[in-house]
Structure formats: C-alpha cells, structure tokens
Amino acid sequence: MSDHNDKLKQLKTSSMDRRLSIAKASLLAGTRWAASNATTMFSSEEEKEKKRKKAMKEQADYLVSEIGKLKGSIVKIGQMMALYGEHFLPEEITQALNTLNNQTVALAWPAIKQQLHSQLGSKLDDLTIDHEPLGTASLAQVHRATRKSDGLEMVLKIQYPGVAEAIDSDMSLFKNMLKLTRMVPQTREFDQWFDEVREMMHREVNYKIEAATTRRFAARLKEDPRYIVPQIIDGYCTDQVLCMTFERGVPINSPVMLSLPQERRNKLGEASLEIAVREIFEWGEMQTDPNFGNYLVRLGNGNDILDKIVLLDFGAIRQFDEHLLGVARKLIHAGFNHSSEEMVQAMTGYEFFDSIPQSIKPDMAKVFLLATEAFSSPSNNPDLPAGVMDEHFAYDWKTSQLHSRVMQQASKSMASRYFSVPPKEFMFISRKFIGAYTFMTVIEAKTNVRAMVKKFI
C-alpha cells in the first residue's frame, strides 16, 4: 500500500482480519498514551498540556493510518466522526480523521466487474462501462457508462461487496477503539450519537431508499429551472447498484466559479441556501452531508440560460419530527428578529434545552444569535460588523468570517461545557448550515437570506 496509485485487488472484509489490525492499533495507541502520561508527572502544567496534545496527535494519526488501510464502513464511520466530531472530539482527532477522505483507494476493475456481474447478470451486455472510476468513496465507487441501444449517458454507483454486512461489527470496533483511547467523554449522548451513526450507515447502503429520496427531491424541484436532480434508471438498479443519468457540471471550488460575475454567484448562493431553508420549513427532511462533492454547477450563458445547481447524492437523508422542526424554526425566527428574549424562549420544550440552567441560556442565546446573523438586519442588529450587509440585506459571506466567529463565541460562553456532546439533531442542522455557509464563502457570494425566510415567517 506504499503507492497511492495502486488499486486494491480485493477488500479486507473478512471481519477477523479487520478486527486484528484495528485491535492492534488501539492497543498500541493506548500504551503510547499511558507512557506519555507517565513521563509528564514531573513537568509543569504547560509542558504537560503540550506533551498530551503531541501524544494525542501521534496517536490519532496512527489510528487513522491503520483505518485508511481498510476500506468500507470503518472508513465511512471515521469520516462521519470527522464531519460531526468538531463538537465533541479533541481537535487533534478530528484533524486526523479529516485526512481519511484523501486516502480512499479505488478497487481494481476485475473486482468491480465481478460485483457488477453478480448484480446485473446479462444486462451488463447492454452497457459500455468506463474501467476507470469517476470517483471512489469508502462504501462504493462510481463508474460512467453508456447504453449501447440509445447512447444514454449514465453513472453506476457500485457498492463494495461485504460492506453492508460489516457495518455493525465495524461500529462496535470503532466505539471500543475510542473507549480504549479515553479521548472522548463516554456519556449517554455519546451512545445515542453512535446509534445515530449506525442508522445513517445502514441508510447509506440502502440503495432503494436513496433511489426513492432522489425521486422525491426531483419531483419537488422539477418546476424550478435553477436545479437539476439526476433521474434514476430502474432497469439497472439492484440492492448494490444504483443507476442514474450522468449530469455534467463544474465543481463548486473550481477556479471558473470565481471568474463568474458577482450577480451570477449571488444567485447560485441563494439557490443553494434556499434548499436548506425549505428542508427545515417545508419538507421536514434534510440532505445531511454538506460535502462539496455532492454539488456541481452547470454554467449558463449569463443571458437566457440560467446557471443551475446539480444535486448529486441523496444517501445521507435525515427526517426530522415536527417537534424538532418547530424548535429549529423558532430559533431561526428569533435570529430573524435578532431578539435575545425570543431566542431564550425558543430554547425550551426539548430535553437538551430543558436540562440547561435558565441562567446559562442568555449566554447560549448569544451563540445562536451570532450563528443566525445573516438572517438579521442592520436595523435590528447593532452588532453586525461594518460592511457585512448592504442596504438590500445582501450578506457578504467571505468578509463575515462567520464560522470562526461562532466558534470563538461558543468557546467563550458558558455554552461550551453543555455542548460536550450536543444532541445529534443539532449536529445535523448546524453541520448543514456550516456546509451552506462554506459554499457561500468559497464562491464569494452575497446573498439575501432574509427574503428567503420571510415567506415562511
């Protein structure tokens, strides 16, 4: 595995193999940890902290390199932990886990062909399939294909064999690994969070659900010329193969995006944010993985042909109950009015909020008011930094540096200790908005969020 251009010949799925390599990694990591703690008995506090951080980083890097040698659900679990873990994992660990994304190695064509054959049988003869994958992920890889009869361009998302069966044992492995390292608070919230990730994993390998969700979103957006959702092609879908139309576009972070006129970038930003707003106010379900790879932009011509957002991946969908949606809407409403009182009032009726002492809530409200800054207006928000919002309520995402300001405010306020492991639903919603905010920042959009929310409020 020295060369990353090597393709894997086969998957290390036999659970015994995997158990051994991971158990070995955790134990080694655990003993390093103990050793580093022993040597710090006589150092100053500052010295201890430095050593502890260094040991934790080494340990996390080591665990991640071991996980990276495997494929399948253990990697995906690691990626989810990286995505949501900034709320409760030490920074050293999330940073290490974040590198998992770049370590996914493709599975060589013969192994993929075998999987396709077992799934599609003689239907394979209808298709010409590219042997080089368009993309690889931890649970599947994507190949382009053309239907011989009519030249229709498609993509096949092919699930790695054995991945779905390994989820439960991989989950307990990962959990034990984190327990052994003693790096994470073992709380009831932590256990609930793990169950949630397990459920997400199972949904993610269920292509029937993904096909149905893709169709639902396509139906919701079909009248709106600003969006494209791929069409599912049933004839080539099975439990482990998902087939849909191939949709062209450029990645969000491609340099060509920044060369577009400001106005066009603003419109794209608004279109992407509007989906997040409609998910909360209208549809009650959310695409929870705000990964840039899930979007492309099909460029128009600046005149009669609009730029469109291509929405690609509907594997990570989370339905929210009316109760939680009600709370989320109230929080956004309070942000719209930029009212601390309203924000404190919105923080009730949900177990997590009700467990927080009333005296702490104003401090926590500050964090939420800052996070919803883009929904406020210069007339009701005296704390808006200069130049962040113009007279048309367009909010300048790049200038605002919102994410880092929110993080600072959270660590300053008393909120941080009540957020040791926040409720899972909050992680989804905050992650979704962080994803949307990052999208805006990357394309340097200025968007009027107030207008979007106004119609629901």
pLDDT band at 266 (very low <50, low <70, confident <90, very high): very high
> In this predicted model, what pLDDT tens digit does every residue of 307-359 receive, in sequence order?
999 999 898 888 888 888 898 899 999 999 999 999 999 988 777 788 888 88
- The number of CA neighbours under 13 Å toward the Cβ of 148 is 7
Res 420 pLDDT > 70: no
User: 153 or 411: whose pLDDT is higher?
Assistant: 153
Angle (CA) 137 138 143, round 5° = 35
According to the model, what pLDDT value does residue 1 have?
40
Average pLDDT over residues 53-64: 78
pLDDT band at 3 (very low <50, low <70, confident <90, very high): very low
- Percent of residues, the chain, with pLDDT higher than 90: 45
Number of residues assigned to the chain: 457
Mean pLDDT, the chain, as a whole number?
85
What pTM does this model have? 0.85
> In this predicted model, what pLDDT tens digit does every residue of 125-155 receive, in sequence order?
999 999 999 988 778 999 999 999 999 999 9
Q: Which of 183, 162, 169, 160 is nearest to 63 (CA)?
A: 183
For 56, the token pair is 């934790």
CB of 266 closer than 8 Å to CB of 392: no
User: 203 or 36: whose pLDDT is higher?
Assistant: 203
CB of 388 closer than 8 Å to CB of 405: no
pLDDT band at 118 (very low <50, low <70, confident <90, very high): very high
CA distance 75 to 174: 10
CB of 272 closer than 8 Å to CB of 435: no
Res 36 pLDDT > 80: no
Average pLDDT over residues 199-225: 95
User: 299 or 352: whose pLDDT is higher?
Assistant: 299
pLDDT band at 257 (very low <50, low <70, confident <90, very high): very high
CA distance 114 to 407: 47
CA distance 103 to 82: 14
CB of 258 closer than 8 Å to CB of 444: yes
CA distance 456 to 318: 21
According to the model, what pLDDT value does residue 375 have?
94
Q: Which of 199, 212, 197, 215 is nearest to 84 (CA)?
A: 197
pLDDT band at 4 (very low <50, low <70, confident <90, very high): very low
With a CB cutoff of 8 Å and minimum separation 6, the contacts of 428 are 84, 286, 288, 318
With a CB cutoff of 8 Å and minimum separation 6, the contacts of 188 are none
State the amino acid at position 191 in one-letter form.
D
User: 74 or 87: whose pLDDT is higher?
Assistant: 74
In this structure, what are the phi and psi dihedrals at residue 257, rounded to the nearest 5 degrees? -60, -45
Average pLDDT over residues 54-60: 79
